[in-house]
Amino acid sequence: MTNRSWLAAAVVLAATSCGQNNNSTDTDHASLELRKAQGEVSGRSNALAANQDAIEQTKRQLTSGQQALADKQVLLEQQRLQLGSAQGSLQDARVAYGTAVKERFAKLEASLATLATRTDARSKDAAVGLRARSAQLAQKLAAMPAADPSWGDYTRDVDTAFDAIEHDLSAAIR
């Protein structure tokens, strides 16, 4: 081999070895970029999975909320029907109470008429006082209120007035 050959071989060898250093730097940089990209993909993939999980959880909550709302709407409709039924029952009870009160008042008036037929002074005085109380009761009955919160108080007052008049009438008739 000649000097030139050696020199050419040395230049080629030197160029190859210098090129390997440059190639290593290139692959190191590419490798670093690859790892960065893989990390970014991994991070975004985790964020995507977390977001999908959050969406699915929200969907389940919405579905559960919609079911609860549907259940409450069904309950509301049932309560409306029950209220209507209860209002009908209340109206029926009020009519029945009114009828019972009229019958009781008619019996009271008949007993007062019987007392008024007596001729003794005690019976006449009792009849006058009981008639006045009966007239007050008749006014109260004529002003029978519509079903409202004071309905219970009204019926108690009417029943108490009836009881008192009937008791005194019974004592006067004896």
pLDDT, greater one: 18 or 82:
82
Q: Residue ranges of the domains in the chain?
A: 3-173
Q: Average pLDDT of the chain? A: 85
d(CA 5, CA 3): 5
Record the tokens describing residue 84, joined without a space. Answer: 């209507």
Q: Is the pTM of this model over 0.75?
A: no
CA-to-CA dists, residue 170 to 141, 157, 163, angstroms: 22, 20, 10
pLDDT band at 13 (very low <50, low <70, confident <90, very high): very low
Measured from the Cβ of residue 48, the count of other Cβ atoms closer than 10 Å reads: 10
Read off the pLDDT of residues 66-89 as tens digits, 9 standing for 90 and up. Answer: 999 999 999 999 999 999 999 888
Residue range 99-119: mean pLDDT, rounded: 92
- The confidence score (pLDDT) of residue 24 equals 79
| % of the chain exceeding 70 in pLDDT | 86
List the single range of 12-26, 76-90, 106-120 with lowest mean pLDDT. Answer: 12-26
